[in-house]
Structure 1
Amino acid sequence: MKSPTPTGSKGKQRKRRRRASQIGPSTSGAKSLLLRAGLAGLGSARLWGEKYTMPKVLALPGDGIGPEIMDSALKVLDRLAEHAQMSFEIDFDLLHGASFDQHRTFCTQVVLDKARDSHAVLVGAVGGPAWDNIRLPGGPENQDGLMFLRHHLQTFLGLRPARSWGPLVSQSPLRPERTQGAEIMILREMCGGAMFARDRGLGLVDGRRRGYDLTAYDETEVERFARGGFELARQRRGRVVSCDKSNVMESYKLWRAVVNEVAADYPDVAFENMFADNCAFQLMARPGYFDVVLCCNQLGDLFSDLTGVLSGSLGMLPSACLVGDPGLGRCFGIYESTGGSAPDIAGRGIANPLGMILSVGLMFEHSFARRDLSRILDQAVEATLAAGYSTQDIGGTATTAAMTDALLTALDQQLRAADRG
Structure 2
Amino acid sequence: MKVAVLPGDGIGPEVTAEAVGVLEALGLTGLTLTHADVGAAAWRAHGHPLPPATLEAARAADAVLFGAVGDPDCDTLERHLRPEQAILGLRKELDLFANLRPAKVFAGLEHLSPLRGDVAGALDLLIVRELTGDVYFGAKGQRINDQGAREGWDAMSYAEPEVRRIAHVAFRAAAAAGQPLTSVDKANVLETSQVWRDVVVDVAGEYPGVTLDHMYVDNAAMQLVSHPGRFGVMVTGNLFGDILSDLASACVGSIGLLPSASLGSRQTAHGTFGLYEPIHGSAPDIAGQGKANPMATILSAAMMLRHSFGLEAEAARIEAAVARALADGIRGGDLGGSHGTAAIGEAVRARL
Fold in common (TM above 0.5): yes
Alignment of 1:270-349 (within 5 A): 270-324=211-265, 330-349=271-290
Aligned equivalent of 1:266, options 182, 202, 207: 207
**Corresponding position of 1:376:** 317
Aligned equivalent of 2:7, options 57, 61, 68: 61
SS in 1 for 2:4: strand
Within 2, Cα distance between the matches of 1:233 and 1:329?
22
Question: Structure 1 residue 400 and structure 2 residue 346: aligned?
Answer: no
Q: Provide Cα deviations, 1:42-95, integer angstroms capped at 9, x if missing partner.
A: xxxxxxxxxxxxx11101101111001011110011112x1xx42211111111
Residue 263 of structure 1: how far off its partner (Å): 1.0
Amino acid at match of 1:129: P
Question: Structure 1 residue 226 and structure 2 residue 167: aligned?
Answer: yes
Contact 1:231–1:325 (Cα < 8 Å) also in 2: no
Question: Structure 1 residue 196 and structure 2 residue 142: aligned?
Answer: no
SS in 2 for 1:293: strand
Contact 1:239–1:292 (Cα < 8 Å) also in 2: yes
Amino acid at match of 2:42: S
Within 1, Cα distance between the matches of 2:67 and 2:53?
18
Within 1, Cα distance between the matches of 2:151 and 2:73?
26
Residue 170 of structure 1: how far off its partner (Å): 1.1
Aligned equivalent of 2:77, options 119, 130, 134: 134
**Corresponding position of 2:111:** 170
Within 1, Cα distance between the matches of 2:71 and 2:128?
26
Distance of aligned partners of 1:168 and 1:325 in 2 relative to their CA distance in 1, 3 Å threshold: farther
Within 1, Cα distance between the matches of 2:350 and 2:190?
51
Contact 2:74–2:83 (Cα < 8 Å) also in 1: no
Contact 2:70–2:84 (Cα < 8 Å) also in 1: no
Amino acid at match of 1:266: Y
Within 2, Cα distance between the matches of 1:313 and 1:245?
29
Alignment of 1:56-205 (within 5 A): 56-80=2-26, 82=27, 85-136=28-79, 144-197=85-138, 199-205=139-145
Within 1, Cα distance between the matches of 2:77 and 2:148?
26
Q: TM-score, normalised by structure 1?
A: 0.79
Contact 2:95–2:265 (Cα < 8 Å) also in 1: no
Within 2, Cα distance between the matches of 1:397 and 1:142?
30
Contact 2:110–2:118 (Cα < 8 Å) also in 1: no
* Ranges in structure 1 where 5+ consecutive residues have no aligned partner: 1-54, 412-421
Within 2, Cα distance between the matches of 1:287 and 1:341?
28
Q: TM-score, normalised by structure 2?
A: 0.94
Within 1, Cα distance between the matches of 2:38 and 2:283?
16
Q: Provide Cα deviations, 1:214-273, integer angstroms capped at 9, x if missing partner.
A: 111111111000001001111113310010111111111111111111112111001001
* Ranges in structure 2 where 5+ consecutive residues have no aligned partner: none
Distance of aligned partners of 1:246 and 1:111 in 2 relative to their CA distance in 1, 3 Å threshold: same
Residue 203 of structure 1: how far off its partner (Å): 4.5
Contact 1:201–1:211 (Cα < 8 Å) also in 2: yes
SS in 1 for 2:281: coil
Q: Note the aligned Cα RMSD (angstroms).
A: 2.0
Question: Structure 1 residue 256 and structure 2 residue 197: aligned?
Answer: yes
Amino acid at match of 2:62: H
Q: Provide Cα deviations, 1:275-318, integer angstroms capped at 9, x if missing partner.
A: 00000111111111111100111111111111113431011110
- What number of residue pairs does the alignment pair up? 350
**Corresponding position of 1:7:** none
Within 2, Cα distance between the matches of 1:382 and 1:235?
22
